[in-house]
Amino acid sequence: MPHPTQVVALLKAQQIRHVRLYDADRGMLVALANTGIQVMVSVPNEQLLGIGQSNSTAANWVSHNVVAHYPATNITAICVGSEVFTAVPNAASVLVNSMTFIQSALVASNLDRQIKVSTPLSSSIILDSFPPSQAFFNKTWNPVLIPMLNFLQSTGSHLMLNIYPYYDYMQSNGVIPLDYALLKPLAPNKEAVDANTLVHYSNVFDAMIDAAYFAMDFLNFTSVPVMVTESGWPSKGDSNEPDATLDNANTYNSNLIRHVLNKTGTPKHPGIAVSTYIYELYNEDLKPGPVSEKNWGLFNANGEPVYILHLTGSGLVLANDTTNQTYCTAKQGADPKMLQAALDWACGPGKVDCSAMLQGEPCYQPDNVFAHATYAFNSYYNQMGKVPGSCDFNGVAAITTTNPSHGTCVFPGSTGRMNGTMVNITAPSMNSTSSAPSVRDLYNLCSTSFLVFLRALICSLVFL
């Protein structure tokens, strides 16, 4: 994984304003400080049993992972576990306790109004999901779901739901048409009709959200809003996953973003768009399982976009640079001694002008070998006309499309603009001793109902 500072630089360059973390990694929370980016942190599943059985353990978790970083890091929500019913059912009995103890710790710190508590659920706990009007939660979980929904309603929080039309499509044995899963426009006679309400559904996404609302109605909860905490489409798959393609991933996520931003809502709640996080920021090349599991990301770990989303009237979205500029940066994990040797060569025999990295100059900070080597490598790369062989430095450098410019430090070859918006990445120091988060414990993006695309994707997630 990239260093947390690089992750945040990418978020800022793309004007991504909301991010969900699958843990509460200190390095990420420090890097996100003073950026204004709204952050959802998570209690990992393996910590639920401890927190759910001890109020003091929960208070300690909030103290170390929330209070210690707030308000510099703009934490807006805590996800208590992830898909607990299906992933770690043995912890389900303490789920509501965990949420209650976390909430109590927030109240004690006077943060309960600013930070909401919920838990992301798999949509698979909703049974008989079509037609939506007949949907209901798996009754096995009612002893947990009912107090959980009471908690969400009383605290003004959301029902967090992970929705994957890709899996619904794959498991339907041809019953669900591909276009219906991809949110492509359908003729009225191709839309699915709820026989009970005669309402037409043009995509799986809306039908699943309404199924969740009807399932809550069935339990007499009518005022808990749905938030989609994961949705996406893989860009590559095994031979038995022929529809996991770049084109389908681009189509799904582009259509999803457009659909949410249009504020069309769902047939049950028209005009009320559902805030939605896109899974996920980076591809995970080391993740076990089928090929598709490794390829849900919008970006590769080097910052290159896997594909560029196209939205009508919005130009290129989530493209690192509309002019296709490339840069040369130091590789994460490279030996510091090798980086120093390459830096010395670039500023010596390589004839790079390294004066911008002198103390008091624009590119002096962050004052570490990684940042300085990146500046020198990129300068040499530009000096040599960006020929591929000029960005190697004995294997410690790599080409990327992510502009490493930050603050007043504008890198050679940079126009100083990203997606038509001025780059202003005031990144924290890269000297953080915290390691980057584990591969699975990463980041989602959000698309939203509350802002529009202003040359780049701006995410908004508002808790009411």
DSSP states of 190-258 as a string?
GSEE-TTT--EE--HHHHHHHHHHHHHHHTT--S--EEEEE----S---TT-TT--HHHHHHHHHHHHH
> What pLDDT does residue 388 have?
61
Asked about 230 being catalytic, the answer comes back as yes
How is 69-111 classified by DSSP, letter by letter? TTTTSEEEEEEESSSHHHH-GGGGGGHHHHHHHHHHHHHHTT-
CB atoms within 10 A of CB 79: 22
Active-site residue (options: 46, 83, 293, 304): 83
- Block mean pLDDT (10 aa), the chain, length 464: 88 86 95 94 96 94 96 96 94 96 96 96 91 92 96 96 95 90 87 88 94 95 95 94 93 90 87 91 92 93 81 46 66 89 92 91 91 93 80 86 82 53 27 32 37 30 32
DSSP string, 351-370: ----GGGSTTSTT--S-SHH
Which pLDDT value is given to residue 411? 87
Confirm if 386 and 326 have CB atoms less than 8 A apart: yes
The whole-number pLDDT of residue 422 equals: 26
- CA pair distance 129, 272, nearest whole angstrom: 21
pTM over 0.85? The answer is: no
pLDDT at 310: 64
For 309, the enclosing helix (H) or strand (E) is strand 309-311
Instruction: Name 137's bridge partners.
Output: 126
DSSP secondary structure code for residue 125 in this structure: G
Distances (CA, A) of 4 to 32, 89, 319, 437, 450: 8, 32, 20, 8, 27
Catalytic, 361? Answer: no
pLDDT of residue 415: 53
Catalytic pick among 46, 191, 230, 241? 230
Type of residue at 79: C
